[in-house]
Amino acid sequence: MEKTIDENKQGEALILDNKEGNSKKLFIESYGCQMNFSDSEIVASILSDQGFNTTQQLEEADLVLVNTCSIRDKAEQTVRKRLEKYNAVKRINPNMKVGVLGCMAERLKSKFLEEEKIVDLVVGPDAYKDLPNLLAEVDEGRDAINVILSKEETYGDISPVRLNSNGVTAFVSITRGCDNMCTFCVVPFTRGRERSRDPQSIIEEINDLWSKGYREVTLLGQNVDSYLWYGGGLKKNFEKASDFEKATAVNFSKLLELCAKAQPKMRFRFSTSNPQDMTLDVIETMAKFENICNYIHLPVQSGSDRILKAMNRLHTRQEYFELIDNIKRLIPDCAISQDMISGFPTETEEDHQDTLSLMEYVKYDFGFMFAYSERPGTLAARKLEDDIPEDVKKRRLNEIIQLQQKHSLLRTQEHVGKIEEVLIEKESKRSDQHWSGRNSQNTVVVFPKEHYKVGEFVNVKINDCTSATLIGQAVDYSKNNL
């Protein structure tokens, strides 16, 4: 599973402005990858039309939903603890309904209802439009479940409600599902087959976000590089259907270009990329447009060819190096981050050293690193024994983390002395006298507030750093924010 955020972080209760006339209250909490947080915005939009406003107060909710992650056992255990909390509140407020959404709902299906009896409804990632019908079932005293996976659903016709938004940055989903059957990953089973969203609806959503004051969009998908949309044009003008498809196809590189041109003053990022699917034209498009950020999240999972093959990662170590070399050649200041798994079944010390040497070659800016966690239903769980002792997994993971921290500090030090454009996102957590934003490379930058405001692009001279944060001083405006 390729991530954009740490799936083990605490879930967030999501908030939106109240819609006049709505009388019911929804409490929705999300865990896992950014796709789950994006899906929760879709759910909130659907339920807003059903009379629900969201609340921060669990105790006052009529409906409590948790959007779940199945990528690791720890993520599932966290959700179970939250469900225990919900049910403790429900004993005080028996009219409250509790539902499970997302990947864990898809994986466990009716077990929540039949065996554990801890929820009232179970809804998979492709069934959110069925929520009104499912809630009607619950109101009539029946358990409700819909975990049918779709080959078409993209929610492109739903206008997401921006939850807990800073009003500056937003996520726009461009694909759903995944066709890459990595042996360790549960995503193809919980989110279904890959499908791409109509580019016109994507551009319309981006234009709407700009009009509402948003200044940065991250294009989101399990594997954005495999984005492909056929359409636009008349088939009668082509002798063969395949000719029509080639002439009218929009791939990810073209989509990036469409977005960059549609809103030239808006910044664009994307996540997540798969090394086997990232093509040279994507890197060339990034280099061509100033408003496409110089940052790529490029999960590799292991530096060993033998382990990559066992993981069904359809690239080699050398092919990954060639991709890195092309990125650095075309975008010299591009930041790169990783996902890494330690202790995959049969991993030897030599395999582990291959991972460390790959990290030394790339010197990632930052990364997401985990010990292998066997997930039921995956090919690795069915075919490979989880044979690496936990203490070995943890020791190898710690070595990966220590090396990444060394490289992260090396990368942030490269910014010191430079003047870089920063988009102000929020107040610094550590000081109410400082702003926090990010540069093009996705590194957090902190600097004194002075007269600047959230949502402004500001040139900042970087004076100091830690391994995770740049510290600087604003020098002037860098963009007209009209």
Q: CA nearest 122: which of 58, 52, 66?
A: 66
CATH number for the domain running over 419-477 = 2.40.50.140
In this predicted structure, what is the pLDDT of residue 110? 83
Tell me the average pLDDT across 101-121.
84
Inter-residue contact 128 to 39 (CB < 8 Å)? yes
Answer with the residue of higher pLDDT: 280 or 192.
Answer: 280
In this predicted structure, what is the pLDDT of residue 76? 86
pTM of the model: 0.86
Domain residue ranges of the chain, discontinuous segments joined by +: 12-146, 419-477
69 is in an annotated binding site: yes
* Neighbouring residues of 100: CB distance < 8 A, sequence distance ≥ 6: 65, 66, 68, 79, 83, 112, 119, 121, 122, 123
Tell me the average pLDDT across 87-108.
91
In which band, very low, low, confident or very high, does the pLDDT at 115 lie, cut at 50, 70 and 90?
A: low
Answer with the residue of higher pLDDT: 9 or 86.
Answer: 86
Inter-residue contact 181 to 188 (CB < 8 Å)? yes
* Residues 273-325 pLDDT 10s: 999 999 999 999 999 999 999 999 999 999 999 999 999 999 999 999 999 99
* Residues 317-350 pLDDT 10s: 999 999 999 999 999 999 999 999 999 999 999 9
In this predicted structure, what is the pLDDT of residue 14? 52
* Neighbouring residues of 280: CB distance < 8 A, sequence distance ≥ 6: 326
In this predicted structure, what is the pLDDT of residue 368? 95
Tell me the average pLDDT across 13-38.
80
In which band, very low, low, confident or very high, does the pLDDT at 480 lie, cut at 50, 70 and 90?
A: very low
Tell me the average pLDDT across 430-455.
97
Residue 50's SS3 state is: coil
Q: CA nearest 9: which of 64, 71, 59?
A: 71
Tell me the average pLDDT across 454-461.
97
103 is in an annotated binding site: yes
259 is in an annotated binding site: no
* Neighbouring residues of 245: CB distance < 8 A, sequence distance ≥ 6: 230
C-alpha distance from residue 340 to each of 155, 271, 350 (Å): 31, 16, 16
In this predicted structure, what is the pLDDT of residue 18? 67
In this predicted structure, what is the pLDDT of residue 11? 56
* Span between the terminal Cα atoms of the chain, in Å: 39
Where is average pLDDT lowest: 155-164, 275-284, 353-362, 409-418? 155-164
Distance CA 147, CA 123 (A): 6
182 is in an annotated binding site: yes
Inter-residue contact 245 to 196 (CB < 8 Å)? no
In which band, very low, low, confident or very high, does the pLDDT at 161 lie, cut at 50, 70 and 90?
A: confident
CATH second-level architecture of 12-146? 3-Layer(aba) Sandwich (3.40)
Answer with the residue of higher pLDDT: 9 or 162.
Answer: 162
Distance CA 471, CA 446 (A): 5
Tell me the average pLDDT across 57-84.
89
In which band, very low, low, confident or very high, does the pLDDT at 117 lie, cut at 50, 70 and 90?
A: confident
Alpha-helical (H) ranges within 11-72 are 34-48
In which band, very low, low, confident or very high, does the pLDDT at 113 lie, cut at 50, 70 and 90?
A: confident
Q: Provide the percentage of residues in the chain whose pLDDT is more than 90.
A: 71
Q: CA nearest 194: which of 176, 172, 220?
A: 176
In which band, very low, low, confident or very high, does the pLDDT at 2 lie, cut at 50, 70 and 90?
A: very low
* Neighbouring residues of 36: CB distance < 8 A, sequence distance ≥ 6: 30, 67, 68, 69, 102, 103
